[in-house]
Amino acid sequence: MKVLQVNSVCGIGSTGRIATDIHNILIEQGHESYIAYGRDLPKNCDNAIRIGTRIDNYTHVAKTRVLDKHGFGSKKATIEFIDKVKELDPDIIHLHNIHGYYINVEILFDYLKEANKPVVWTLHDCWSFTGHCAYFDYVGCNKWKRGCYGCPEKKAYPSSIIYDNSKDNYRRKKEIFTGIKNLNIVTPSQWLANLVQQSFLKEYPVKVINNGIDLDVFKPTESDFMKKNNIENKFVILGVASIWDRRKGLKYFIELAKMLHEDEVIILVGLSEKQKKGLPNNIIGITRTNNVSELASIYSIADVFVNPTLEDNFPTTNLESLACGTPVITFNTGGSPESIGLNCGFSIENKSTLELFTHIQKIKGGKLIRKECLNRSKIFDKNKCINLYIKLYKLI
């Protein structure tokens, strides 16, 4: 098989690493594999194809910020890319994030309808079936079910500062994204699969394939982190995010810090330098790390991983924590609770700091077993998950 994946980034970020993981296993199994990407530098892929230039990205950003027409810029870049696709002539086209300021969705889908090739489309969020936003849980909006207008998330990603074009975006997306003969949708969570089946994409078959992680990297890992930070006798509460924005729940950790006992400490990974300033004394702030072995060692020393996410699909941080033997506490948000099995953590319905503190104390009391977390994580071995994709390729 010759497979072409399309994603905003290649080899970086969660979706970029998923794409390169699929690519590398395809190559190992003797298939041809290519990844087309729109931003930043590619990693871990010899056959990477850049769509457009940095100037194209900036122009697409401007069109989004002013006119709220995200996905409808990058015309020239997309036409040139389609010429490359025709020359490459892949057997399978696998779409990931087609938002991210780099591709024109109308031109792309006109080609897909004309080419009539098998298409797999992995949805990593809700952008494909809304008039603007990638998530709507935070504001409790259900307009996407019947037609968007007056978007309450206009300033959320992909942010529009001036105009609200959500009504027209919804109409155009519905027309563009429907009517492809051989398109199969994949979602990492059952939660997102259920939403797709309520949206205008319901005409397509939907399959759940969980995000996977590298169990050779994320595993119980020894380090001197506790000694270096003088927390050897502390109960460690960990939070990890690539960006600590509104929806990741940073405020809960700040509030939680006021409730902790003397023998308890919080570690937060992924903070900006600005966010690190002024933290309470019982929070250790760490900026984002791309060193996965270092990250695994931090998961390993933690007694509990807390993920107070307010909007999410199927966060890989939960899986990484389990694979290092650390139980997870998360809010019942999106697909986040789906990763937690029996004796591996708690899903909290009531999004409150007091509930988080109460459940942290339950884990501190020895209610959960690290061995159960390790066993649970085996379900999310990236090799198993990627082979499900390859099985789907062959099927279609």
pLDDT at 289 over 80: no
d(CA 117, CA 106): 17
Which residues pair with residue 269 across a beta bridge?
Answer: 240, 286
Percent of the chain with pLDDT over 70: 99
Sign of CA dihedral 293, 297, 303, 309: negative
Q: What is the largest CA-CA distance in the chain?
A: 65
The Cα–Cα gap between 149 and 169 comes to: 9
Question: What is the mean predicted confidence (pLDDT) over 61-84?
Answer: 98
Q: What is the residue-averaged pLDDT of the chain?
A: 95
pLDDT band at 205 (very low <50, low <70, confident <90, very high): very high
The phi, psi pair for 127, rounded to 5°, reads: -55, -35
pLDDT given at position 368: 67
Quote the CA–CA distance of 85 and 15 in Å, as a whole number: 21
Handedness of CA 294, 295, 299, 302 (dihedral sign): positive
Structure-token match 């033997």, residue found: 325
The two tokens of residue 250 are 């940073």
| C-alpha separations of 273 from 33, 106, 112, 268, 276 in Å | 38, 39, 44, 12, 5
Segment 325-330 shows an average pLDDT of 97
- Site of tokens 């390859």: 390
CA separation for the pair 201, 197 (Å, rounded): 7
Among 12-21, 283-292, 385-394, the range scoring the smallest mean pLDDT is 283-292
Q: Which residues contact 62 (CB under 8 A, 6 or more apart)?
A: none
Provide CB contacts within 8 A for 28, sequence distance 6+. none
Token duo for residue 327: 């139980």
Q: How far is CA 61 from CA 68, 177, 320, in A?
A: 9, 22, 32
Q: Report helix, strand or coil for 160.
A: coil
The pLDDT value given to residue 292: 85
pLDDT band at 367 (very low <50, low <70, confident <90, very high): low
The structural domains of the chain, ordered by start, are 2-212+382-395 (3.40.50.2000), 225-380 (3.40.50.2000)
The strand pairing partners of 32, in sequence order, are: 2
Task: Write out pLDDT tens, residues 3-34.
Answer: 999 999 999 888 999 999 999 999 999 999 99
Are the C-beta atoms of residues 329 and 305 closer than 8 Å to each other? yes
pLDDT for 127:
98
Closest by CA to 3, choosing from 16, 12, 20, is: 20
- pLDDT tens-place string over residues 74-118: 999 999 999 999 999 999 999 999 999 999 999 999 999 999 999
Place of tokens 């994946």: 5
- Measured distance CA(79)–CA(369) in Å, rounded: 54
Task: Give the model confidence (pLDDT) of 250-284 as tens digits.
Answer: 999 999 999 999 999 999 999 999 999 989 999 99
Q: Which residues contact 263 (CB under 8 A, 6 or more apart)?
A: 233, 234, 235
> Of 301, 315, 317, 283, nearest to 370 (Cα)?
301
Mean pLDDT of 321-334: 96
CA neighbor of 97 nearest in space, from 190, 199, 194, 12? 12
pLDDT of 120-151, one tens digit each? 999 999 999 999 999 999 899 999 999 999 99
H helix runs in 210-249, sequence order: 225-228
- Please give the average per-residue pLDDT across 163-191, as a whole number: 97
Q: What's the pLDDT at 35?
A: 98
Tokens 């990693």: give the residue: 43
CA distance 142 to 153: 12
CA distances from 90 to 1, 45, 84, 365 (A): 8, 17, 10, 55
Find the mean pLDDT for residues 202-230: 96
H or E segment at 49? strand 48-50
